[in-house]
Amino acid sequence: EAQVTQNPRYLITVTGKKLTVTCSQNMNHEYMSWYRQDPGLGLRQIYYSMNVEVTDKGDVPEGYKVSRKEKRNFPLILESPSPNQTSLYFCASSFGGSDEQFFGPGTRLTVL
């Protein structure tokens, strides 16, 4: 089944404790992206990747890192999480040049 998977689905952590949210897709998509969703603010793009080893900032990249060492994986790294990064995170992927993105199920992160 074609899908985008994220892990973990739920995470409660404390300020400053490094964490990684994994994202994997099995559709051989070139494009991958991370979004955060907050009440009243909609979906905001954090980072995206056009292909392996090619990443760029979205609208809200501060406090996040990404890497794209393999085509199927695009982990989101929070080196020192803060409470303002408490949010619902979505990973998405698509074929290069297509606006039809496939979204993962989301990761609900709480930073205390």
Partner 1 sequence: LAKTTQPISMDSYEGQEVNITCSHNNIATNDYITWYQQFPSQGPRFIIQGYKTKVTNEVASLFIPADRKSSTLSLPRVSLSDTAVYYCLVGDRSSGTYKYIFGTGTRLKVLA
- Site mask for partner 1 (CB under 8 A), range 93-112, x = bound: ------xxxxxxxx------
| Minimum separation from the CB atom of position 20 to partner 1 (A) | 19
- Site mask for partner 1 (CB under 8 A), range 42-61, x = bound: xxxx--x-x-----x-xx--
The CA distance from 88 to 105, in Å, is 10
DSSP 8-state symbol, 84? G
Tell me: does residue 8 bind partner 1 (CB under 8 A): no
Tell me: does residue 35 bind partner 1 (CB under 8 A): yes
The CA distance from 80 to 73, in Å, is 22
Contact region with partner 1 (CB under 8 A), list: 10-18, 19-27, 41-49, 60-68: 41-49
10 Å CB burial of residue 85 (0-12, 13-18, 19+) is buried
